[in-house]
A and B are shown apart, each in its own frame.
Chain A
Amino acid sequence: MTGTTPGPGAKARGRRPAFAPDPNTDRLVSMLLALAGEVWVLRERLDTVERLLARSGGIAPGQVDAYTPDPAAAEAREAARAAYLDRVMWIVTAAQTEAAAGETPDSYQAVVDALAGRTAD
């Protein structure tokens, strides 16, 4: 009976409702808010770095431009970029998950009706 809580990027089971007349408008809203979230995460991280630098004496001019990530850092960045895109593009993946699960507006309404007792519980 107990299941496994799904990992990052999971879509909640149950058909996602439509809000705007064009489904792509809803998808753009999702991508925009995800992007807004990631920009904030970036700003907060930068704020942390700046405060730590201020505390420790800082870095020299040109040091950021001169920086080259080592292979481990480059690999970590690539993985982080992929995860970042997964977040921003989440809604497109969710649309595919929904199609694969056969979730439709009717399938959601059927649950509402069943729980209301209009059909078998």
Chain B
Amino acid sequence: MEPQLQHAALPSADHDEAARQAFVQSLKLHLATKVVPGNREIYERRLKPDFERAHGRPPADRREVAALMRDEPYYQLWGSMQRCSQEMMHAAALDSVTRQREALLARMAPPADPVGSLTLDPAVAAPAYVTAVDIHCMPGGYMGDLAGPLYDRIVHIYAMAGWGPDNGAMGRTIADYIRQAHPGLEPRRILDMGCGIGNSTLPYADTFPGAEIQAIDVSAPQLRYAHARAEALGKAVQFRQADATATPYEDGSFDLIVSHILLHETSGRAIREVMAECHRLLRPGGLALHVDLALYDGMDPFDAFMLDWDTHHNNEPFWGTFRDMDAGALLTGAGFPADGLVSALVSRSGNAAHVFSDKRDSGGRRYWQIVGARKAEAAQASAA
């Protein structure tokens, strides 16, 4: 697997720490490629035919699939091991990161001649959906003082290096998608909401070199690391501590707003507020695009069942609720016009060349889903 891009803010690992992290990465690849497929075999060859004989139809949704699968020993063993792989992944990075606590905190100090900036606001509170549990089993969660370096390492292991050496594939994919699907958009001001360590933010600096890039998050520790990381990589990004449901920016001040795997880590109330805030912040004709794993609508029930595993087994308490939502209704409810809605499935390969037309034969984890909308032009907005 391609090694992670080294930069000045990234934690190092000693011999055993590196071996432990490499082991978890290999374990995850083994589980994903050699153990996970057995679940479908059991379902397709035995459980689904049995169900069809009994009911005269296949299972209609993921809940009916769950009722068949949850007592299967093979599924239970896979889940037990998958959970362990999450715990071991974080443990392997935590050992290394907390050993270097003082050095890593020192390296997060703002550099002398930054090309970007960092603006912290202690009045920004961490919402309940960030603090209720440690999301995806990361000890200390996003508010821990070393959450930044910890996340930079674990995401590379989690994605089995699939997000590229800089963990930037998601941002690159969406930026590439914009170039292809919205070629007229030349954004001068871009906002990345819930930017975390900025791994998905930086590709926008490459794709739109003339644009001013603002990036917000509620976590000061993540932003400190994001700023140090961006500076180490020489990318100009203005990081600011702010809540995406209520930002300090003026109405109509952005041409493009993006978020990356933010929405599934919010709540039923917050997600509506985020959509409304995007509408307020966009200029007329501006574009909001949110990328996440796929929504369940239109997905094969077995794929949806497998994708939903994280809700109850990986500390992702809003994951399933979010994927059951009607994105179009959320967006129009926030004021976006129905004829401006955007929905696309793009390959996770790092470029948007392979845009899927539907969710069949995909497994739910092989592509990213983009949902979003274009704000009405001024004439339309005033007429409405």
A binds B: yes
- The residue in A19, A36, A90 that gathers the most chain B C-beta atoms within 10 A of its C-beta is A19
Bound-complex Cα distance A90 to B58 (A): 42
What residues on B are CB-neighbors of A104 within 8 Å? none
What residues on A are CB-neighbors of B181 within 8 Å? none
Q: Does chain A have a CB within 8 A of B363?
A: no
A5 touches B85 (CB 8 A): no
- The residue in A1, A9, A44 that gathers the most chain B C-beta atoms within 10 A of its C-beta is A1
Taking the closest CB of chain B, its distance from the CB of A104, in whole angstroms, is: 13
What residues on A are CB-neighbors of B76 within 8 Å? 19-21
Bound-complex Cα distance A110 to B270 (A): 17
Binding-face segment, B110-118, B128-136, B280-288, B292-300: B128-136
B139 touches A26 (CB 8 A): no
Bound-complex Cα distance A1 to B128 (A): 12
Bound-complex Cα distance A5 to B141 (A): 8
Taking the closest CB of chain B, its distance from the CB of A57, in whole angstroms, is: 21
Bound-complex Cα distance A26 to B312 (A): 16
A41 touches B126 (CB 8 A): no
Taking the closest CB of chain B, its distance from the CB of A107, in whole angstroms, is: 9
Q: Does chain A have a CB within 8 A of B242?
A: no
Bound-complex Cα distance A55 to B139 (A): 41
Q: Does chain A have a CB within 8 A of B359?
A: no
Contact among A21, A115, A117 for B132, CB-based, below 8 A: A115
Contact among A9, A29, A33, A111 for B317, CB-based, below 8 A: A111
Contact among B85, B122, B140, B312 for A6, CB-based, below 8 A: B140
Binding-face segment, B20-28, B49-57, B207-215: B20-28
**Closest B residue to A40 using CB positions:** B23
A30 touches B122 (CB 8 A): no
Give per-residue flags for A1-27: 1 if the beta carbon is below 8 A from chain B beta carbons, else 0. 111111111111110110111000110
A2 touches B143 (CB 8 A): yes
Bound-complex Cα distance A113 to B340 (A): 32
Chain B: how many interface residues by the 8 Å CB criterion? 62
A121 touches B24 (CB 8 A): no
A37 touches B27 (CB 8 A): yes
Bound-complex Cα distance A40 to B98 (A): 22
Taking the closest CB of chain A, its distance from the CB of B31, in whole angstroms, is: 10
What residues on A are CB-neighbors of B22 within 8 Å? 44
Binding-face segment, B39-47, B87-95, B328-336: B87-95
Binding-face segment, B145-153, B156-164, B191-199, B366-374: B145-153
Q: Does chain B have a CB within 8 A of A45?
A: yes
What residues on B are CB-neighbors of A1 within 8 Å? 122, 124-126, 143, 220
B297-331 at interface with A (beta carbon < 8 Å): 311-313, 315, 317-318, 320-321
- The residue in A13, A16, A36, A37 that gathers the most chain B C-beta atoms within 10 A of its C-beta is A37
Q: List 13 A-B contacts (CB under 8 A).
A: A1-B124, A2-B221, A5-B139, A12-B315, A14-B134, A14-B315, A20-B80, A94-B87, A115-B317, A116-B267, A116-B321, A121-B268, A121-B270
Residues of A whose CB lies within 8 Å of any CB of B are 1-14, 16-17, 19-21, 25-26, 29-30, 33-34, 36-37, 40-41, 44-45, 48, 87, 90, 94, 108, 111-112, 114-117, 121
